[in-house]
Copies of this chain bind each other. A is one copy, B any other.
């Protein structure tokens, strides 16, 4: 079996390692944080920043395949590894085309994929630059998005005009707001040999308090035609990124991986592409219990050069992210009420696990901070309604406080 290097030390790496033992895979991680969810289970841990050129090259030296579970990786280092003949999966050219979200949107637009209109903002988004970009889109309100580094509600602002105080002062672009009915996602796996597997389209449900994806429902409550269209778009997105990667000089051997493709269902019933992650995705966590082969199993199959598994949904399912509580015990004296981190305290797990069909996944993060994702739960049901009911009941049992 190939030895695997994963750049990043979070829960995606952790769940990948959990799934890897059955294949006798050897997995090392590069992470700036120790301990971290993945570092506790890895066969070896390298401590260092993810975007350090030399550090990434050094990490990769003895490993057969290099991958990443987070976007903030040095693309230049991955490109250099490819020049040296190393196997990088997904290829550096895919990460490059995803990491800069405006480039990602450009690649998808050129491939004819439907998505919200957008316009680049010059420089670090001074009001004049915002005004110019906004005019190109027909005026405000518009979404402003950071070109890189946005994640879980960070790096996004809704601007009422070019002088809006919420504006991000960084390289960014403006995007039309999509008046959407639902947010959807399709996780797909691709092997370098061109084979594809798409998981059933899921529905992403958001918590308005924190602008965080709160829960995920499978299958999405949309029509069969819409489901097929979502899967088709997801595949086309990944193919477009693969073509861009080849154009940028990355080899075809790296055109594999697991991708989370986020979509909008708009009010007219059309499906638009939102954005793509080149890694296992929060919207695919429920595949651990609900599908024949989980997204982490698929990821390992791709990295190890094994054939893709079946993505068949065994039962309707709902996944709920478990966040540390806002404030609460974490709002410590002397901080002006501002919440700091603390050791996590898990309450109500027994009650939640007493509900039939409920599975729990804790990530082992040593520090809880308000709204930090500390784990997730998945409830299976014989119907979507039963899955929702069980997941909501389980969610209501659990509190993650701070000591």
A residues adjacent to B (C-beta < 8 A) = 14, 18, 21-24, 41, 289, 292-293, 297, 301, 305-307, 309-310, 312, 314-315, 349-350, 353-354, 356-362, 364, 375, 380
Contact between B354 and A307 (Cβ–Cβ < 8 Å)? yes
Contact between B364 and A24 (Cβ–Cβ < 8 Å)? yes
Contact between B362 and A22 (Cβ–Cβ < 8 Å)? yes
Hey, which chain B residues are within 8 Å of A14, CB to CB? 21
CA distance A357 to B307 in the complex (A): 12
Contact between A22 and B357 (Cβ–Cβ < 8 Å)? no
Contact between B18 and A21 (Cβ–Cβ < 8 Å)? yes
Hey, which chain B residues are within 8 Å of A305, CB to CB? 350
The 4 closest A-B pairs by CB, nearest first: A307-B354, A22-B361, A310-B356, A314-B314
Number of copies of this chain that the complex holds: 2
Mind listing 9 A-B residue pairs with CB under 8 Å? A18-B21, A22-B359, A22-B375, A292-B359, A306-B350, A309-B358, A310-B356, A314-B314, A314-B380
Contact between B21 and A353 (Cβ–Cβ < 8 Å)? no
Contact between B21 and A292 (Cβ–Cβ < 8 Å)? no
Contact between B310 and A357 (Cβ–Cβ < 8 Å)? yes
Q: A21-B41, A22-B362, A41-B21 are in contact. Are A292 and B350 (CB under 8 A)?
A: no
| Partner of A23 from B23, B306, B354, B362 at Cβ < 8 Å | B362
CA distance A354 to B41 in the complex (A): 28
Contact between B362 and A24 (Cβ–Cβ < 8 Å)? yes
Give the one of A23, A357, A361, A380 with max B CB within 10 A: A23
Name the distance in Å between A94's Cβ and chain B's nearest Cβ: 24
Name the distance in Å between A109's Cβ and chain B's nearest Cβ: 36
Hey, which chain B residues are within 8 Å of A306, CB to CB? 349-350, 353
Name the distance in Å between A214's Cβ and chain B's nearest Cβ: 20
Name the distance in Å between A196's Cβ and chain B's nearest Cβ: 14
Hey, which chain B residues are within 8 Å of A309, CB to CB? 353, 356, 358-359
Contact between A307 and B353 (Cβ–Cβ < 8 Å)? yes
CA distance A251 to B381 in the complex (A): 37
Name the distance in Å between A151's Cβ and chain B's nearest Cβ: 23
Hey, which chain B residues are within 8 Å of A289, CB to CB? 292
Contact between B353 and A301 (Cβ–Cβ < 8 Å)? yes
Hey, which chain B residues are within 8 Å of A23, CB to CB? 360, 362
CA distance A364 to B24 in the complex (A): 6
CA distance A21 to B354 in the complex (A): 19
Closest to A288 in B: B22
Closest to A306 in B: B353
Hey, which chain B residues are within 8 Å of A21, CB to CB? 14, 18, 41, 364
Contact between B314 and A360 (Cβ–Cβ < 8 Å)? no
Name the distance in Å between A321's Cβ and chain B's nearest Cβ: 14
Hey, which chain B residues are within 8 Å of A307, CB to CB? 350, 353-354
Name the distance in Å between A125's Cβ and chain B's nearest Cβ: 42
Name the distance in Å between A384's Cβ and chain B's nearest Cβ: 16
Contact between B22 and A356 (Cβ–Cβ < 8 Å)? no
Hey, which chain B residues are within 8 Å of A375, CB to CB? 22
**Contacts beyond the supplied A309-B353, A309-B358, A310-B357: 8 A-B pairs with Cβ under 8 Å:** A14-B21, A18-B18, A18-B21, A21-B364, A293-B359, A306-B353, A307-B350, A310-B356
Hey, which chain B residues are within 8 Å of A361, CB to CB? 22
CA distance A23 to B292 in the complex (A): 22
Hey, which chain B residues are within 8 Å of A380, CB to CB? 292, 314
Name the distance in Å between A293's Cβ and chain B's nearest Cβ: 7
Name the distance in Å between A309's Cβ and chain B's nearest Cβ: 7
Hey, which chain B residues are within 8 Å of A301, CB to CB? 353
CA distance A306 to B314 in the complex (A): 25
Contact between A292 and B364 (Cβ–Cβ < 8 Å)? no
CA distance A306 to B361 in the complex (A): 14
